[in-house]
Structure formats: structure tokens, C-alpha cells
Amino acid sequence: MSILVVGSVAFDSVETPFGKAEEVLGGSATYFSTSASFFTGVNLVAVVGEDFPDEHIAGLKGKGIDLAGLKKVPGKTFRWKGYYGYDLNQAHTLETHLNVFSSFNPEVPAAYREAPFVFLANIDPELQMKVLDQVKKPKLVACDTMNFWIEGKPDALKELLRRVDLFVINEGEARELSKEASLVKAAKVIMGYGPRVLIIKRGEYGALMFTASSMFAAPAYPLEEIFDPTGAGDTFAGGLMGYLANTENITEENIRRAIIYGSVMASFNVEAFSLQRLHTLKPAEIKDRYYEFRRLTQFEDI
């Protein structure tokens, strides 16, 4: 089954303790789509400027991503510049230039409106709701957000969460949204806003999943080298949603497996800058690392 994703396509300039990259392809929808494309078809809705090169469009199409919803308009593409210290869980923003993204008004093409799986990447919650007004009874709606919207549009975000099945958020954002220090308490507060499944991303510490009756903890894959964590959360979400769409199974047990596939995809993403590692990734490598995850967490009772 196909996935509809709405979010940003951007250029990033990033520096980490291990190197830097200038004006490389980024954006929440880009990372999500590339990751999900390893599992299923993806329909992308986003906006770019007239400076967006054809080679990037060809690269996305080469992954089987449908770009009928990608608009190229006069102006410059969204740009972000930032750096990471040795705490790779914390990005430090130096510059943000929204450019054409500042007037983004997502219009879902008619061919996308019956997509059974919908992912609302990190954009204004009012725009996320506008997308939901255009789709027809999806099987699963998931979304992401960030502290900017938690601080600036909390009421709109809470209204959105009443219409969402699965909510993906990082631990700092979970604490800020819930006003709770404990992630367990935070999860109870956030799920009270509407989503039936909450996934809290914890960077190098893995991820937590909460439902009304259960909790699941997944580790992150231990890596010797991490070059660039930019887009890791969106790559995680792409692997998660891609697996769910591929299997057409949204039971709790399968969502747990999907979290591991999301973690697998994120672990590859951080091995190089931008989407470089995802462009060389092979399906066999994904499967091998998934089984490595299983061995990492498997143990026997005494």
C-alpha cells in the first residue's frame, strides 16, 4: 500500500565533530520518503524553489517516489544551517531561511487522496489538518511535530492529535508538550489528547512505544561511527511507516516490528552526511541489520 507524506524538501548545511557538508539535500519529507521507499510506494507533497536541481528530482524518482505533488515555484528552496557537538542528540540551529516554504499551502493531488497510510511530517499543525481535510478515510494517520509548534501553536497541535492514530515525537518535545519530566507520565498526558499509539524517539538510546495498555522499549543500534544525525528521526519514521504499509498490518505486535525497522533505517542514515548512505543502501543490508537487532535484544530465561 502507498504512503502519502507531506513535509519539507530543503538544503542543509551541517557541521559535526566528524566533518561538514554544505548545501546538501535534506528536509523532513525527503528523509522520510527515501527511507519508506525501500518498503513501499511513496507519494510526496512538498514545495521547492526554482533553484532545486533536476538531478535531485531524478534521484527521488529513481527511488520510486511519486513527485506529482512536488511543486517548483519561483524563489529559493528552504535552507537550514546548523551544527552538532559531541552530544549528537542536540542540533544547534545557526540559520533558517524558509524561502518558498514560508507560503507552502499543501494541495493533495486527486490521485493521492485515497492513500491508506498518511504521514504528516513536521510542518504547521494547521497545515497538517488541512491535509487531513483532503484525504479519504486512511487506514492509519501518523504525524510528527517540533518544539516550535508546541510553543507557538499548542491548541492547534492538540486539535490535530484528536485526528491522529500514531504520534511520533522526541523525548524533549514529549516533556515540553506534557509538562511532565517522567516519560511514562508524559505519555499518559499526550495519549489523552487522542493518539492511540505514541512513539517517543530517544536518539542514541532508542525508542519507546506506548499504547493504552502496554509499553515497548527498543534500543538504538550501537555504531562505531556516527557522522551526521540530521534526518535520523524522519528516516526512522519512514522505515516505520514503510514497513506498516508494506505488511498492511497495524496491530501492536507489527508496530513493534516496524519500530525496529525504523531504527535500522535511522542507523544507516547517520553513517554519512545527507542521504548519501541511503543512496548506496541495499535491501539485503536492511534485513541483515534487522536480524542483528533481534540478536542484540534476545535472551533466555534461567
Pairing of strands 3-6, 42-49: parallel
Please give the chain's pLDDT, 302 residues, in tens: 799 999 999 999 999 998 999 999 999 999 999 999 999 999 999 999 999 999 999 999 999 999 999 999 999 999 999 999 888 778 889 999 999 999 999 999 999 999 999 999 999 999 999 999 999 999 999 999 988 899 999 999 999 999 999 999 999 999 999 999 999 999 999 999 999 999 999 988 899 999 999 999 999 888 877 888 999 999 999 999 999 999 999 999 999 999 999 999 999 999 999 999 999 999 999 999 999 998 988 877 77
Q: According to the model, what pLDDT value does residue 221 have?
A: 87
Measured in degrees and rounded to the nearest 5, phi and psi for residue 189 equal -65, -50
Q: Is 123 left (phi over 0), alpha (psi -120 to 50) or beta?
A: beta
In residues, how long is the chain?
302
pTM across the whole model: 0.95
DSSP reduced 3-state for 48: strand
Q: Is 179 left (phi over 0), alpha (psi -120 to 50) or beta?
A: left
pLDDT tens digits, 54-68: 999 999 999 999 999
Name the residue with cell 537550514: 80
Q: Can you tell me the distance from the alpha carbon of 288 to that of 64, in angstroms, rounded to the nearest whole number?
A: 23
How many other C-beta atoms can be found within 10 angstroms of the C-beta atom of residue 240?
31
Q: According to the model, what pLDDT value does residue 1 have?
A: 79
Q: Can you tell me the distance from the alpha carbon of 37 to that of 117, in angstroms, rounded to the nearest whole number?
A: 13
Enter the C-alpha cell of residue 273. Answer: 552526511
DSSP string, 221-249: PP-S-----TTHHHHHHHHHHHHHHHHT-
Q: According to the model, what pLDDT value does residue 223 have?
A: 84
Q: Can you tell me the distance from the alpha carbon of 78 to that of 12, in angstroms, rounded to the nearest whole number?
A: 9
Q: Is 14 left (phi over 0), alpha (psi -120 to 50) or beta?
A: beta
Q: According to the model, what pLDDT value does residue 204 have?
A: 82
Q: According to the model, what pLDDT value does residue 302 have?
A: 72
Domain 3-297: CATH architecture, name and number where available = 3-Layer(aba) Sandwich (3.40)
pLDDT tens digits, 18-47: 899 999 999 999 999 999 999 999 999 999
| DSSP type of residue 199 | E
HSE-up of residue 227 (Cα within 13 Å, Cβ side) = 12
